[in-house]
Structure 1
Amino acid sequence: MSESYLEIERHRAAIARIDISRPVRLAIESALINQETTFFDYGCGYGGDVQRVANLGYTSTGWDPYYYPDASIIAADVVNLGYVLNVIEDPQERRESLIKAWELTRKVLIVAAQILINAPSKTQLAYSDGIVTRRNTFQKYYEQEELKSYIDEVLNVDAVPVALGVYFVFRDETEKENYKAIRFFSRSSTPRIRIPSKRFEDYQELLAPLMAFFTKRGRLPVKGELSNEQELLSEFGNFRRAFSVVLQATDEAEWDAIAYRRSLDIQVYLALTHFEQRPSWHKLAPEMRHDIKAFFGSYEEACAVADQKLFSLGQPRVVQTACEKSKIGKHTRGALYVHVSALAEIDALLRIYEGCASRTIGRVDGATLIKYCTDKPQICYLFYPDFDTDPHPALKASIIIDFLTLKITHRDYQTRANPPILHRKETFVTPNYPYYEEFAKLTQQEQQLGLLKQKSDIGTREGWEKCLAAHGVEIRRHQVYQVEDGRR
């Protein structure tokens, strides 16, 4: 069939969503869309994102050539070009749409497109540089790196990968670097009051912002960074004296640990900027510049420390050794498995190694576990959506990234009758995980009953069910119960 006889029905590619689309949700979660920004959806389809963003109390408008052709096309702080590029069959029009969206953008452009993570079906009809679907719509499937290269080339920018097929393009370089750095920040809790003192109690309310600042940045503030600075300094003279009162009532080692983690966060961020054009000192956010001065003395020293860690990953067995030494995660013969919530707690080398994968694809939205392969250069993201609630959750999907080829492979396990399942869930998380104790108690019960002895037999759902039946037990809500004789 000649391409000239095909009439593509683009509007049929619009998706009727029941929730905010993933690209827009990621922008909201990153606080890029907030009460103070305006949002415009360029190619909004049915307008679902426009309405739901407005329902959150944000200023939200949109336009679509088929569904809302009479709506105004206006500039906004945040513009969404969500899954539009991949449905335009004309390469020139596709390019013009991207340029137009960027022209409308004051702060951040969201670009999302379909990503090819497995080989396309050979039965699909090739058309232009994509394929024609059964609905007579056009789809251009990009490779992840191909999409970034396309955005960068057309707009002369450095698009930031956020997730598979999702990029943020920032107008301001400092805001871009700040966003990238924040992604590697670990979260800390303010140390508890352990030794109440009269002096601390008298000033606790005044000292609270200082404690919150140190918890977030891992250092004392400099002039202009604290909301109640004038009041605090008039009382104590300087921040160090004020913080000494905090140390009288708390464990200093906990504050030191916060500072250490923060310094590692910066090393991870700077190590991964090596792959791009590392930002100049003046393009870093003021807070980051103060962090670097506090922890490393100079930008040059901070970069040198970060690069040393990055380059060491190229040496034989470094990743394997780091995995073997890790006190966090579940160890197997060929891998280390870590829950995503524990990523910020593991060795900085392993954080950088994972960052080498996520720097190209962004964070893998919805992933539960990260599998560090120790026998090959791969990282796998495993999806167990029922991890918290199911005592032995089944694997729903995986995404594998090969460091040698940068190939991304997706595997779907949802239709498998006998999928792999998890045991000993507490080994994947840290002791401060909300359900750690519940997981650990279940494992203890299972060990006492001998349920976990035959490791090779219980790794799948069917094998596990046979094991439970053989022992005459069942598991409900992370508790093991004997099955009554009449139910066997």
Structure 2
Amino acid sequence: MFLTTDYFSEIVTCCKKSPIGKQLPTALYVHISAIDSLEIILQEYEKKARLTEKIEGATIIKFATDRPTISYLFYPDFDSDPHPALTLSIVVNLDTEKVSYWNYKNQKNPPILHRKESFITLDYPQYETFSHLTNMEEELDLLSLNVPIGTKEQWEKRLNRKRIIFEGHYLACDCPLFPQKTFTIQIERHKAAIVRNAFSRPVRLALDLLLFDEETTFFDYGCGYGGDVERIAAAGYKSQGWDPYYCPDNHKRIADIVNLGYVINVVEDINERREALLNAWQLTNKVLIVSAQVLIDDRDRGVIAYGDGIITSRNTFQKYYEQEELKFYIDQVLEVDSIPIGLGIYLVFRDEMEAQKFRASRFHSRAKTPRLITKVRRFEDYEHLLQPLMEFYTERGRLPAKGELRNEVQLKEEFRSFRQAFKVVLQVTYEDDWDMITEKRRQDLLLYLALSQFDRRPKMRELSPEVKQDIKSLFGSYNSACVMADAMLYQVGNLEIIAQLCQKQTLGRKLKNSLLIHISVLEKLEPLLRLYEGCASRTVGRLEEANVIQFSWRIPKITYLYYPDFDDNPHPILHSRMQIQLNNLRVNHSDYEEEENPPILHYKDSLVSPDYPLYETFKELTEKEQELGLLDDYHQVNRLQGWLKFLQENNLKLDGYDLIED
């Protein structure tokens, strides 16, 4: 069979452009079930290679792009083995029609497969299982390109070093406490309860977000030792709780706020887990707080796979969710659109209008009431009446509608209308300052509406009265606002535009392929960059206490970083980092708290705006360090030990923000 150069070139082009299959530098690998999804020319090309009946039963087809060959690879345990071994390879040369056979069946160290989902199509029955496994392996750094893992022995060596084993398609630690892989276990759920000396994270976040008011009632479903119940009561709220082990006789009470804190991840029975979520929701009047452990590197805790989770060395069950998986589970069971407020923490509002009000508030940027630039007697005489009007305009970017201002009657008695009253305000302030506030509020609303498109954009009737009025005043109609929001959302997917905006920013530190900012700068960025970050925070949530954000533009990614002593430490130490891939919402969390040589931060002045309280202090230190050449070799000083060593070599030390000779 003679193949022309042009024909083979066309085959190579189709292989390299194929959205189906796994691409490697010199070949395209496709599962046999996906052949019909390939371009017709590739299907016909593959049919030409069927020169022997022995290819029946092949699992993977390899289209070589450096020579006219097709290989039929046999992985009999493709579905059942997380990393199946190759047993037979049949190579067909379509130019010479020569067929070669390579038998691996009795080899001790055969090639094995990784990333099985890359060979198949999305509708393959086990696609999600395979994909989830790959995600977990990447989280645990098992698939690093720097370590050979292509054969059985190489892979086992890698797993042994990481102390990891498999139970089906689930990962677990190789724990000596449980030498047998098949057994029946009595799970002791109550041991998962934690004695706390402060509010749990979910409850503390709810307090920080001002979800509690004077009349709020609280119920903790699965309260464990009852720490949150006691502390909420001590804060002056009506508070009760129930736990199947520690206080089973307590009544389950309906409450405004119900907390289901780290409960669903300790219930090993899937049906009971679902029932707990539904029961907690049934008790909720206003807001349900749902939290669960999310997937992070947990290989050192001594655990073993069990069902769809793990059993810890304390004989408790833990289901580790991925962040987006947790949201999907809550939304599916309760038929809602839950709101992330932290890693593994979601809110579910009973009233959709309240949910939308909360969502909109999260994109409400700060604004200062314009300063007075002159003295006008009429303003001075009525400043006490005009001040609430100015505050309202600063908050909403518009004049009030009827019934929105607390001193409406008194103001209208004197000025007849809000507009007439505001004319007096304009006599003592710059009108441009008010226009900037209006534009800021327009952009805030566009962000909210654009990001609401990810799930289900609310109908006009589901919006709170104040947001309805905002849209009417600032856009004319809801439809007009939505059209503008969709246009923004369309642009945010263009990484070239994101790159251009990042590179043009006057705020933030520009790195090779990213922009680094302090969180205080976020609301000062271009609206499209705020939307880019919102794609991460709206769907997954920000890292709790994150104070630095990194915008990547080479790949769609947002990274949140937490430096606990950002203001006090001249070179703060990185505590934790959370990366969110915007194309698939995968979350990668890293903790540096116990590292001996963690990353540290330089050039803090470049991350903040000039109006930041310590900007001048940061700037003076950076300039002095640059003058002394301390930052010339950044790779030498970007971690703690390297920085301390470099200071010592130069007989220098830091006393607060003073760089002095040692």
TM-score over 0.5 (shorter chain): yes
Following superposition, the deviation at residue 4 of structure 1 comes to 6.8
Q: Establish whether residue 8 from structure 1 lines up as the match of residue 187 from structure 2.
A: yes
Residue matched to 2:366: 187
Residue matched to 1:149: 328
Following superposition, the deviation at residue 51 of structure 1 comes to 1.2
Residue matched to 2:433: 254
Q: In structure 1, which of residues 194, 197, 216 is the aligned counterpart of residue 376 of structure 2?
A: 197
Matches of 1:24 and 1:331 in 2, distance apart? 37
Q: In structure 1, which of residues 58, 72, 79 is the aligned counterpart of residue 237 of structure 2?
A: 58
Tell me the secondary structure at the aligned position of residue 465 of structure 1. helix
Q: In structure 1, which of residues 337, 353, 358 is the aligned counterpart of residue 537 of structure 2?
A: 358
Q: Establish whether residue 158 from structure 1 lines up as the match of residue 337 from structure 2.
A: yes
Letter in 1 for 2:203: V
Residue matched to 2:507: 328
Following superposition, the deviation at residue 119 of structure 1 comes to 7.1
Letter in 1 for 2:570: P
Tell me the secondary structure at the aligned position of residue 401 of structure 2. coil
Following superposition, the deviation at residue 414 of structure 1 comes to 2.4
Matches of 1:279 and 1:3 in 2, distance apart? 49
Pairwise mapping of residues 82-161 of structure 1 onto structure 2 (< 5 A)?
Answer: 82-118=261-297, 124-161=303-340
Higher relative contact order (CA 8 A, sep 6+): 1
Following superposition, the deviation at residue 234 of structure 1 comes to 0.7
Matches of 2:279 and 2:635 in 1, distance apart? 57
Matches of 1:449 and 1:4 in 2, distance apart? 65
Q: Establish whether residue 342 from structure 1 lines up as the match of residue 521 from structure 2.
A: yes
Following superposition, the deviation at residue 214 of structure 1 comes to 1.0
Following superposition, the deviation at residue 162 of structure 1 comes to 1.8
Following superposition, the deviation at residue 446 of structure 1 comes to 2.5
Q: In structure 1, which of residues 463, 466, 482 is the aligned counterpart of residue 661 of structure 2?
A: 482
TM-score normalized with structure 1 length: 0.95
Matches of 1:314 and 1:157 in 2, distance apart? 26
Q: Percent identity?
A: 52
Residue matched to 1:216: 395
Q: Establish whether residue 74 from structure 1 lines up as the match of residue 253 from structure 2.
A: yes
Matches of 2:616 and 2:464 in 1, distance apart? 40
Matches of 1:397 and 1:197 in 2, distance apart? 53
Following superposition, the deviation at residue 373 of structure 1 comes to 1.2
Gap regions ≥5 residues in structure 2: 1-179
Q: Establish whether residue 458 from structure 1 lines up as the match of residue 610 from structure 2.
A: no
Who wins on radius of gyration, i.e. which is larger? 2
Following superposition, the deviation at residue 282 of structure 1 comes to 0.8
Preserved contact between residue 324 and residue 586 of structure 2 (Cα < 8 Å): no
Tell me the secondary structure at the aligned position of residue 312 of structure 1. helix
Preserved contact between residue 42 and residue 64 of structure 1 (Cα < 8 Å): yes
Preserved contact between residue 242 and residue 251 of structure 2 (Cα < 8 Å): yes
Pairwise mapping of residues 2-41 of structure 1 onto structure 2 (< 5 A)?
Answer: 5-41=184-220
Per-residue Cα deviation, 1:110-169 (whole angstroms, up to 9, x for no partner): 111111144767963222221110111011111222222222222222222222211111
Preserved contact between residue 117 and residue 408 of structure 1 (Cα < 8 Å): no
Residue matched to 1:442: 621
Matches of 2:615 and 2:407 in 1, distance apart? 38
Per-residue Cα deviation, 1:416-457 (whole angstroms, up to 9, x for no partner): 322221112121112222222221222233234333333333
Residue matched to 2:407: 228
Gap regions ≥5 residues in structure 1: 484-488
Tell me the secondary structure at the aligned position of residue 336 of structure 1. strand
Tell me the secondary structure at the aligned position of residue 194 of structure 1. coil
Following superposition, the deviation at residue 469 of structure 1 comes to 2.7
Preserved contact between residue 148 and residue 159 of structure 1 (Cα < 8 Å): yes
Per-residue Cα deviation, 1:368-387 (whole angstroms, up to 9, x for no partner): 21111122221111111111
Preserved contact between residue 46 and residue 67 of structure 1 (Cα < 8 Å): yes
Following superposition, the deviation at residue 275 of structure 1 comes to 1.1
Per-residue Cα deviation, 1:204-244 (whole angstroms, up to 9, x for no partner): 11111111111111111111100000000111111112112
Following superposition, the deviation at residue 404 of structure 1 comes to 2.7
Letter in 2 for 1:24: V
Letter in 1 for 2:428: A
Q: 1:237 to 1:311 in 2, by over 3 A?
A: same
Residue matched to 2:471: 292
Matches of 2:626 and 2:320 in 1, distance apart? 48
Spell out structure 1 runs of 4+ moving beyond 4 A: 1-4, 118-123
How many matched pairs?
483
Q: 1:267 to 1:417 in 2, by over 3 A?
A: same
Q: Establish whether residue 429 from structure 1 lines up as the match of residue 608 from structure 2.
A: yes
Matches of 1:147 and 1:455 in 2, distance apart? 39
Following superposition, the deviation at residue 306 of structure 1 comes to 1.1
Q: Establish whether residue 390 from structure 1 lines up as the match of residue 569 from structure 2.
A: yes
Residue matched to 2:584: 405
Letter in 1 for 2:393: F
Letter in 2 for 1:379: I
Preserved contact between residue 561 and residue 577 of structure 2 (Cα < 8 Å): yes
Per-residue Cα deviation, 1:373-417 (whole angstroms, up to 9, x for no partner): 122221111111111110001212211111233221112222332
The more displaced of 203-212 and 443-452 is 443-452
TM-score normalized with structure 2 length: 0.70
Matches of 2:468 and 2:326 in 1, distance apart? 32
Following superposition, the deviation at residue 349 of structure 1 comes to 0.7
Following superposition, the deviation at residue 288 of structure 1 comes to 0.7
Q: Establish whether residue 239 from structure 1 lines up as the match of residue 418 from structure 2.
A: yes
Residue matched to 2:385: 206
Matches of 2:327 and 2:528 in 1, distance apart? 26
Letter in 2 for 1:465: L
Per-residue Cα deviation, 1:244-270 (whole angstroms, up to 9, x for no partner): 222222232222221111111111111
Residue matched to 1:486: none
Matches of 1:454 and 1:98 in 2, distance apart? 53
Residue matched to 1:265: 444
Q: 1:444 to 1:195 in 2, by over 3 A?
A: farther
